Structure 1
């Protein structure tokens, strides 16, 4: 398949991006060409758009970015057997080697040679994207494309929340960006007794409440440590899911977790964070987990089942839809924080 397509290109080493006409990608025998129906903006994409310290050290413009999407298979290589033309698909965005110790022992999500779609390779902010067939997840035909496009980030939320026991536990979600909102829904669906959502943004806190938070805390208006102490009778929360990346918020998480509790960290602080290891980790006997990506493909199965069964209603999370040409409006909203998930439709 030849010709040109529209794509949002990180065109230079600086702020912003450009809509350009580029070549439709060609596929090899193990790849699939997908017509993108919906693609959502992630916090990682915002880092790249703003050209912050992390993106400066990681990505190499010019290239197409974006990694969350759903679409329809329009062409496949002659060795592809797991999908057919016309299938609705999304994609696991970590391209792994399949040969390292981690991959060979069922831990491909922490492959030492991972490449991320739209970060290390060409991405999906475009009319078409080419991907290895091994990375594809086949969606139910009745699943709307916009909801299908947010399964990848929801997999992060599932992985974070369900990395330990949740039933009957008190869970604090620190940072209510889109993945934090999803984590609220996951914790509630998984049987958490209390789900406490903490952020600075009232718009997003209200969305977290719609997703099932039993208590929301705006840290500019209330002291999270005092509120948590009251809500837990001085015991502290059983589980902290850290989604903010802010040093103060992260330290609040270590202080509010109960002795023997769990802190699961998905966020990516831009700089090293100073933590009182002696008093807030060692003497408390807590478990600290770094969470990266999704378990392949366990998290995808959980996400698809939670959505398909109606255990989680993801519709409140998707607050804005724009055409691909209007991508700047979407990024502006994400930067301001006045949105949930923003979906672009080529």
Structure 2
């Protein structure tokens, strides 16, 4: 089968022929239809310091995908050949304290699909049945392929109640855009999103946000005045990993405000902890998806009319992966999809 492989310790990927995977005990085999390019994939493509210290080569990359089930191992129930499925890319041990308590997203022994084991940028992928999410309601394959990052957005956005609240989102990348769509859909009063990319802020406007602010030209205080806000934001969703963005968010929160932080900073940086203390702010770190409550939330949001199609801006056949990665790395687009259906 064809697969995108990180073969050598250098930038780039190779589209090569590799053996088709076989179904192991408790596993499901899936014919991949679509894959989404993630920031992790860009790190691997560049082969930066994180990738050099994390990967064991050669490796089939990719973890955002959807496809049809083509085989199931004996004893696997509730998953049938022909089902359209997505996959939870965090494989957990099932035996640690958190796993045993139902907090699988907190497993300390998590293995990443496409990072620590062969991934989904291929014609076929195998996955433990416990990591397979079956789409019981109709969903377009492009949307099904991005349930993994959609889950990051939903997990972050629903960390705190949003109904009637003023919400600030810093970072209008694909996950920030999806979080904005969720916050608007579930009834936030004002949803403001900040970035320095006009292209991405234009996408945010299509999702119905109250304010899409380019902070290279206007201040957050200016944006709050445009919204008629007299106090600070109730909920902050930090999606950028930018030190300046988090500092501005902390300064713009109302007393008792709550921040969910998904963005990963590249290095340590100073935080105004005095304001965190005196304003009695709550800061919650968010990683991945709650298994599988977040997945249930995602499916219901789609079923109830949440439209993610504006977030998906570019589609490429799988063999044009270099152009796809270049587009995804530009910082000016939404989600980039690779189509494997004709492989």
1:301 aligned to 290, 296, 304, which one?
296
User: Does 1:316 pair with 2:315?
Assistant: no
2:323 aligned to 313, 318, 329, which one?
329
* Gaps in structure 2 of 5+ consecutive residues: none
Of 227-236 and 290-299, deviating more is: 227-236
2:168 aligned partner: 172
CA distance 1:316–1:230, shift in 2 (3 Å)? closer
User: Does 1:112 pair with 2:108?
Assistant: yes
Post-superposition offset of 1:331: 0.8
Give me the TM-score of the superposition, normalised by structure 2. 0.96
Give me the TM-score of the superposition, normalised by structure 1. 0.95
Of 142-151 and 177-186, deviating more is: 142-151
1:103 aligned partner: 99
CA distance 1:287–1:67, shift in 2 (3 Å)? same
Measure the CA separation in 1 of the matches of 2:16 and 2:314. 23
Post-superposition offset of 1:116: 1.2
For 1:59-91, what per-residue CA distance to the aligned partner results, in whole angstroms no more than 9, with x for missing partners? 222201110110011111112113111111111
State whether residues 175 and 239 of structure 2, in contact with CA within 8 Å, keep that contact through their aligned partners in structure 1.
yes
Post-superposition offset of 1:301: 0.7
Measure the CA separation in 1 of the matches of 2:295 and 2:312. 19
User: Does 1:341 pair with 2:335?
Assistant: yes
State whether residues 59 and 118 of structure 2, in contact with CA within 8 Å, keep that contact through their aligned partners in structure 1.
yes
2:197 aligned partner: 201
- The 3-state SS of whatever aligns with 1:23 is coil
Of 248-257 and 324-333, deviating more is: 248-257
Measure the CA separation in 2 of the matches of 1:214 and 1:154. 21
Of 78-87 and 165-174, deviating more is: 78-87
1:60 aligned partner: 56
State whether residues 82 and 133 of structure 1, in contact with CA within 8 Å, keep that contact through their aligned partners in structure 2.
no
- The 3-state SS of whatever aligns with 1:269 is coil
State whether residues 137 and 303 of structure 2, in contact with CA within 8 Å, keep that contact through their aligned partners in structure 1.
no
User: Does 1:148 pair with 2:137?
Assistant: no
- The 3-state SS of whatever aligns with 1:112 is coil
Measure the CA separation in 2 of the matches of 1:85 and 1:20. 27
Post-superposition offset of 1:234: 4.0
2:124 aligned to 124, 128, 150, which one?
128
Measure the CA separation in 1 of the matches of 2:285 and 2:78. 32
Alignment of 1:175-190 (within 5 A): 175-190=171-186
For 1:129-161, what per-residue CA distance to the aligned partner results, in whole angstroms no more than 9, with x for missing partners? 011011000013632211111111111111101
